[in-house]
Structure 1
Amino acid sequence: MTATTRRVVSARRAISPDAVDAEVLLRWYAATARDLPWRHAGVTAWQILMSEIMLQQTPVVRVEPIWREWVARWPVPSAMAASSQAEVLRAWGKLGYPRRALRLHECARVLATDHGDEVPADVDVLLGLPGIGAYTARAVACFAYGQRVPVVDTNVRRVVARAVHGLADAGNPSSRDLPETEALLPESVHRAATFSAALMELGATVCTARNPDCARCPLPSCAWITAGRPASETVRRTQKYEGTDRQARGRLLDVLRDSSGPVERVRLDLAWTRDPGQRDRALDSLLMDGLIEQTEDGLFALAGEGGSPG
């Protein structure tokens, strides 16, 4: 065990329910929470599920207009299930990580056929749906159904690490994350669900990773501030996009999204000329992920469109 690991382990002791002042946080949230459309009254569990899938690794400002379009186009799972994979991929546009779109389409089919066109409320049942992981299942149970379940994303982990443990960042995800967050939840089911949203909001808008705005933080005490704001010992690496395989994949997908049917290989070759080897890797990975397919006559198309005429 390294010295850094020993310090982190010693800092992360059992926490008490009042380690974060729920009353203060809830008042702050009521006064300052962002007016996000998926937080409005009347939004369904399916629409909240769509927002949660879209928001993974994608900023709110990019998600909101696409989410509004999807709510209008696919207000219930069966509406999406009736659309093709290609239609969903085109509608996903530039949100990134397009496998999420395919998994959501698969999830919609299961909801339509096996769950009466409704999103289940039970976390364990949600975890059995395609593309639904631990975070998303609990987020839907909490934000759509008001359940008292811990919802732990990067923002929540950061707030707990700083306010409770005095650490600059949370480090890698741990098996402690869920029980620690659950320990902070108010006993009242309704207040617990709102508290989860407030904790997440605090991390997203105030207690941010690079530039925490401690002057605006509503919490009356913070272990990190008390400790003198010790620096992070985590080496952050900026993820570049320009010139990466991800960018190459995106360029190839753009060609197929903008086409009404299968295209010849030369169209894809022209979309990424800087590195033929990288282009080949990108094409192979898109095929492996099921995002595109190759027709019998060697053309390429979005998933589900391989049988269309060229």
Structure 2
Amino acid sequence: MSSVAPTPSPAPPHPDLPGLHEAVVRWYGSAARDLPWRDPRCGPWGVLVSEFMLQQTPVARVLPVWRSWLQRWPRPEDLAAEPAGEAVRAWGRLGYPRRALRLHAAATEIVARHGGQVPADHAALLALPGVGTYTAAAVAVFAFGDRRTVVDTNIRRVHARAVSGRGLPSRSLTAAEARLADELMPADDDLAVAWNQAVMELGALVCTARTPRCAACPLFGTCAWVAAGRPAPEETPRGQAWHGTDRQVRGALLAVLRAGTEPVPARHLLGPVDPADLVHLPAEGLRALERLNGLDAPPEQRHRALEGLLADGLAAEDARGVSLPG
């Protein structure tokens, strides 16, 4: 009579998961930054705004804009009641200003479909404009205490080094990395929320991409990357060009529109202008136009950048000129 060997249980992703959780969460308890969206009194709207703003933007740049945003629009209905262009204006120089339009659209949807309250349901969060897989999970975890896996660049980097022994994670999230993140999650709901926060903070403050402070890391003694001799990453991150790009010109054009309260004639945005024609611009608008002219962008690049702003809904044009969207 033959017998079938039992299927072996999969090996755990780390030899001491409870110890891993305890070390990182304990470190977070003493080293975490005091950020306003982590305050229990902040509320889900403040968390959602922070998650939109923190996409590809450092905390130091987000903090003053987040504070002014929440002071002006403390509830979704406050933002939804304003024109979308005001959201773009208040976005300032955070970059990737389409996020402002999407956040305005999300606020409008929250008012229309959820009674002005950020929904706690993950599927409802995911259905909001501008909310993708990461943002929905992050708001569900950090605003509502759900046990969900949050995977951002900082978390992926800690997982890659401390558990997988790699210098850096892949350029984009892989199925293996997502599976590892799930396997590393604590079973307890409260501990899972703390774990997500702690690993993210560890990646932001200690296990950084270019100059990790290994001696200050709570996982130094068990880190697989350190044990392997800190091998070089398989892929070297490439910095994003900025100077001379269409993105830089788009940002400079948008700065002129943000500074003004009246439409700006397109000719002022697309080429040299007689100073006598600029009396309608406020002082900040004139400075923004000087910065735009200082880029020495060729006319075709200015045209391309303006067309891109119009196509993306970040600007509107009528017979009077170009302005922020209504």
8 Å CA contact 1:261, 1:301 repeated in 2: yes
In the TM superposition, residue 18 of structure 1 has moved relative to its aligned partner by 3.6
One-letter amino acid of the counterpart of residue 302, structure 2: R
One-letter amino acid of the counterpart of residue 253, structure 1: L
Residue equivalent to 1:5: none
CA deviation string 1:161-218 (max 9, x = no partner): 1111100011131123333212112111011101100000010010000011100000
Residue equivalent to 2:314: 291
SS of alignment partner, residue 197 of structure 2: helix
Paired residues, number: 291
The CA distance in 2 between the partners of 1:53 and 1:69, in whole Å, is: 15
5 Å-filtered alignment, 1:184-195, equals 184-195=184-195
Residue equivalent to 2:205: 205
Please, what is the CA RMSD of the aligned residues?
Answer: 1.5
Residue equivalent to 2:287: none
Residue equivalent to 1:264: 265
Distance 1:286 1:132, change over 3 A: same
TM-score of the pair, normalised by structure 2:
0.86
Deviates further, 101-110 or 184-193:
184-193
Residue equivalent to 1:59: 58
One-letter amino acid of the counterpart of residue 300, structure 1: V
Residue equivalent to 1:173: 173
Which of residues 11, 15, 19 in structure 1 aligns to 2:13? 15
Deviates further, 270-279 or 147-156:
270-279
8 Å CA contact 1:143, 1:193 repeated in 2: yes
5 Å-filtered alignment, 1:207-246, equals 207-219=207-219, 220-246=221-247
SS of alignment partner, residue 175 of structure 2: coil
Matched, 1:275 2:289: no
SS of alignment partner, residue 294 of structure 1: strand
One-letter amino acid of the counterpart of residue 93, structure 1: G
Distance 1:109 1:38, change over 3 A: same
Deviates further, 111-120 or 265-274:
265-274
The CA distance in 2 between the partners of 1:263 and 1:233, in whole Å, is: 49
TM-score of the pair, normalised by structure 1:
0.90
In the TM superposition, residue 43 of structure 1 has moved relative to its aligned partner by 0.7
8 Å CA contact 1:186, 1:192 repeated in 2: yes
Matched, 1:96 2:95: yes
In the TM superposition, residue 263 of structure 1 has moved relative to its aligned partner by 1.1
The CA distance in 1 between the partners of 2:222 and 2:111, in whole Å, is: 47
Residue equivalent to 1:252: 253
Residue equivalent to 1:3: none
Tell me the percent identity: 51
The CA distance in 1 between the partners of 2:13 and 2:194, in whole Å, is: 20
In the TM superposition, residue 266 of structure 1 has moved relative to its aligned partner by 1.9
Residue equivalent to 1:6: none
The CA distance in 1 between the partners of 2:195 and 2:134, in whole Å, is: 16
Distance 1:135 1:299, change over 3 A: same
In the TM superposition, residue 232 of structure 1 has moved relative to its aligned partner by 1.1
One-letter amino acid of the counterpart of residue 223, structure 2: C
SS of alignment partner, residue 176 of structure 1: helix
In the TM superposition, residue 16 of structure 1 has moved relative to its aligned partner by 4.4
Residue equivalent to 2:36: 37
In the TM superposition, residue 275 of structure 1 has moved relative to its aligned partner by 1.3
The CA distance in 2 between the partners of 1:279 and 1:100, in whole Å, is: 22
The CA distance in 1 between the partners of 2:35 and 2:167, in whole Å, is: 28
Residue equivalent to 1:68: 67
Matched, 1:300 2:322: yes
8 Å CA contact 1:293, 1:303 repeated in 2: yes
The CA distance in 1 between the partners of 2:128 and 2:96, in whole Å, is: 19
Consecutive unaligned residues of structure 2, counting only runs of 5 or more, are 1-10, 272-291
Deviates further, 226-235 or 44-53:
226-235
In the TM superposition, residue 17 of structure 1 has moved relative to its aligned partner by 8.0
The CA distance in 2 between the partners of 1:83 and 1:17, in whole Å, is: 53
8 Å CA contact 2:186, 2:192 repeated in 1: yes
Please identify the structure whose Cα radius of gyration is greater.
2
The CA distance in 2 between the partners of 1:122 and 1:174, in whole Å, is: 26
The CA distance in 2 between the partners of 1:170 and 1:159, in whole Å, is: 9
